[in-house]
Amino acid sequence: MIPLNLFDFSNRVVWVTGASGGLGKALARRFAQAGAHLALHYRAQVEPVQALQAELSELGCETLAVRGDLTDEDAAEACLQAIWERFGRLDVLVNNAGQYSHAPFLSMSVQDWDQIVQANLRSVFLCTQRFARRAAAQGLAGAVVNIASIEGLTPAFGHAHYSTAKAAVLMATRAAALELGPLGVRVNAVSPGLIWREGLEEDWPAGVESWRKAAPLGRAGQPQEVADAVLFLASDAASWISGANLVV
């Protein structure tokens, strides 16, 4: 018989970075449905997070909104300090915050490169390192799930900076898993393919059609389907999985 509590996150605290976006909201909803309390990070717009907090409160989920630029050391530390002061612990970190832009390699500026690499890689390093330090100091086991991308495995035209950053996230996942495993902290990654959003077909019809022809299931993924994969890797059902990348 399969234990039904493998996906029970009751009394656990989960920090979702980049919680104001579509995937971030789906991640928060799924963990709240599993019983977790949520720290919801945003960088600029608080209104989407406030609306999400109101929604999650109806599930009995206690939430905390934390703001900061997670490429900044002090901001990352301040977010974690606020979480620890509110909840006294943190069990799961989902590194979802990041940025995406399009720029051909030959015309890409150094600023373009640095902005995307820092947003998608530096933030993962800072948050994971500081979370692991605190967890180790308190003797807490923990789980980190990094949101990477299939572009970290196969580059796309005009996305050299993004593809490179996500490839580095995958190696950072493996390296962190190796060093943090003895402390009881597991580190894994999820690499989503094309994720549906409102207006996607209108904004990028050729790309969506190309994806549908190439993808085995013939469609874009839904944000909650990615959230399900993240929930699995953070759960007790994945208690002996670390350093893995799950392509979704």
> Annotated active-site positions, please?
162
Residue pair 196/220 in contact by the 8 Å Cβ criterion:
yes
Chain centroid to Cα 42, Å, comes to 12
Which amino acid does the sequence have at 226?
A: V
Exposure class string for 200-216: b at 16+ Cβ within 10 A, else e: eeeeeeeebeebeeeee
Q: Cα separation of 198 and 222, whole Å?
A: 11
Cβ contacts of 78 within 8 Å, gap of 6 or more = 66, 68
Centre a 10 Å sphere on the Cβ of residue 133 and count the other Cβ atoms it contains: 14
Neighbours of 110 (CB within 10 A): 7
What 8-state DSSP symbol labels residue 58? T
Distances (CA, A) of 167 to 148, 164, 197: 8, 5, 24
- Phi/psi region, residue 215 (left: phi>0; alpha: psi -120 to 50; beta: rest), is beta
Q: What angle do CA 213, 218, 224 make, to 5 degrees?
A: 135
